[in-house]
Amino acid sequence: MEASEVFREIQPFTGLPEAPQEAPGVLGDAVAQREIAEVQAAMTIAKRFPRNQAKALDRILVACQRPTLAEGALYSYARGGTDITGPSIRLAEAIAQQWGNLQFGIRELDQRSGESTVEAFAWDLETNTRQTKTFQVKHYRHTRQGGYNLTDPRDIYEMVANQGARRLRACILGVIPGDVVETAVNQCESTLKAKADISPDAVKKMVEVFAAFNVTKEMIEARIQRKLESITPAQIISLRKVFNSLKDGMSKPGDWFEINAEPAPIKTEKKSPGRPKKEAPLPETPPEQNLPAGEVSAPPRGITDDTLSTIWLELKRTQYEEEILRQDFEVSALMELSEEAGQNVLKFLKSLPDVNNI
């Protein structure tokens, strides 16, 4: 053997013979064989120890009695003018864990050209029922000021995880029986009703968590049509579903709240007597007659105190005084009448029958 051939077989830094190179694809085949062995072992164990559905359902109900799980278990979003409510990804994961013999998760299949190919899956090893969803996630984030490409690996990971969570929820609910999911949802709603906290501290905390989505206290009050100090337990539960929907990306704040809506100013008026209600309108002052050229009409004479007092006596006789007070009209409306208009009003009121004679 020539010296050059010997030198090529010796590693220059260690002085040891060079290790033989593995053929391409050997490492990939080893990984595939290991995954096949893991799946076969999991299916064998699932067949050997099948789930007890009654006990599994009991475990699910016990889990749904925890207030912390129930608070994040339901979401709500608007579609076609109707509020749609369903189990969140957190509740779906809890059901899958307690149901047993399930494999579920999200895995990234490929990443190239600024996007990831992702697969969400849920597999019932007992019945061999499998749900998979493959989708693309573009490494791009949309904002109100415009969008930008994601380059930080952590931002890309969070984007993929967020997009995959909704697909994973759909996969899990596709392999769990529907009546089991419905029972879990009902138990969570019962837990929320029993544990709904409407104390000032709880309400303040709720406002703070909504602030992360640029939802203000005024927007919340506009939605529930009342002040937060008088919020009801049912409204607390409804707002929790809205928050879970926003957190999971199922909806946007504009779907639930009036964005940039300013609170309406509180109108305060003095309660004082004034005009009668519309059922008995006051007659209008007759139009001014045409005067010959060069003549100027005298300004109308204001209503006298005697006429005004007589009008109020007639209003009291016909019980219009109570209606005027109830309607919150301004008393200055009568005081601004002219004497002629006041006499017309008085004439009209005298023509009305006495209430005691009706």
Tell me the pLDDT tens digit for each residue of 107-123.
999 998 899 999 999 99
User: Quick one: average pLDDT of 221-241?
Assistant: 84
- Sign of the alpha-carbon torsion through 206, 209, 210, 216: positive
Instruction: Find where tokens 């200055």 sit.
Output: 332
Query: What are 101's two structure tokens?
Result: 């013999």
Sequence-ordered list of residues with C-beta below 8 angstroms from that of 92, at least 6 positions apart, any chain = 168, 169, 172, 173, 176
Q: Check residue 252 and give its pLDDT.
A: 83
Amino acid at 112: R
Integer Cα distance of 325 and 318 in angstroms: 14
Region of 146 please: left (phi>0), alpha (psi -120 to 50) or beta. left
More confident: 95 or 28 = 95
User: Quick one: average pLDDT of 242-262?
Assistant: 78
Q: Which band of pLDDT confidence, cut at 50, 70 and 90, is reported for residue 335?
A: low
Q: Domain segments of the chain: what residues?
A: 30-183, 196-255, 305-357
Integer Cα distance of 35 and 39 in angstroms: 6
Integer Cα distance of 32 and 296 in angstroms: 108
The pTM assigned to this predicted structure is 0.54
Integer Cα distance of 60 and 297 in angstroms: 90
Give tens-digit pLDDT for 143-175: 878 889 999 999 999 999 989 998 999 999 999
Of 61, 78, 124, 52, residue with least CA distance to 238: 78
Sequence-ordered list of residues with C-beta below 8 angstroms from that of 172, at least 6 positions apart, any chain = 92, 93, 95, 96, 102, 104, 122, 131
Q: Check residue 241 and give its pLDDT.
A: 84
146-149/140-143 β-pairing = antiparallel
8 A C-beta contact, residue 119 and residue 171: no
8 A C-beta contact, residue 318 and residue 356: no
Sequence-ordered list of residues with C-beta below 8 angstroms from that of 282, at least 6 positions apart, any chain = 275, 276, 345, 348
In the predicted structure, residue 272 carries a pLDDT above the cut 60: no
